[in-house]
């Protein structure tokens, strides 16, 4: 019995956290020649934004940032708010992209949550 508990505990410790972004295995995610960073991020995030033309949020905000005169790197932030969820107020995805040979490639993505109750601001753990 004790070895079974240790085995289960070991598997739980090795398992990724429930709040980790599940699409990280798709990285790096290369865009198509001529695509803008926003287009690459939207294509990558499409499965999280809706399905069959339907979506379950009131607003979607997209913000693109880059450093002046360093247009080979960009950040895209997608924020979904007004979700049909009584605990999650919003979901934010932050993408890091770089450009090589006219192709933008998504290198990293982070996802966090804003809650109606409990903690203030954005956090990595799911809302209570």
pLDDT value at 19 more than 80: no
Average pLDDT over residues 66-86: 93
pLDDT value at 14 more than 50: no
pLDDT category, 25, cuts 50, 70, 90?
confident
pLDDT at 93: 96
**pLDDT, averaged across the chain:** 85
CA 69 to chain centre: 27
pLDDT value at 53 more than 60: yes
Rounded distance between C-alpha atoms, residue 7 and residue 102, angstroms:
49
pLDDT at 8: 34
Higher pLDDT, 77 or 7: 77
pLDDT at 55: 93
Average pLDDT over residues 20-30: 81
Burial of 50 (0-12, 13-18, 19+ CB in 10 A): middle
Average pLDDT over residues 49-77: 94
pLDDT value at 9 more than 60: no
């Amino acid at each position: 019995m004790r070895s079974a508990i240790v085995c289960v505990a070991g598997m739980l410790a090795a398992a990724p956290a429930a709040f980790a972004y599940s699409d990280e295995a798709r990285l790096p995610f290369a865009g198509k020649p001529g695509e803008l960073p926003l287009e690459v991020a939207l294509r990558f995030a499409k499965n999280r934004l809706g399905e069959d033309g339907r979506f379950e949020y009131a607003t979607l905000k997209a913000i693109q940032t880059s450093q002046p005169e360093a247009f080979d790197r960009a950040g895209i932030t997608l924020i979904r708010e007004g979700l049909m969820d009584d605990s999650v107020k919003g979901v934010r995805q932050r993408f890091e992209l770089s450009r090589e040979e006219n192709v933008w490639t998504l290198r990293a993505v982070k996802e966090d949550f804003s809650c109606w109750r409990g903690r203030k601001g954005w956090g990595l753990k799911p809302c209570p």
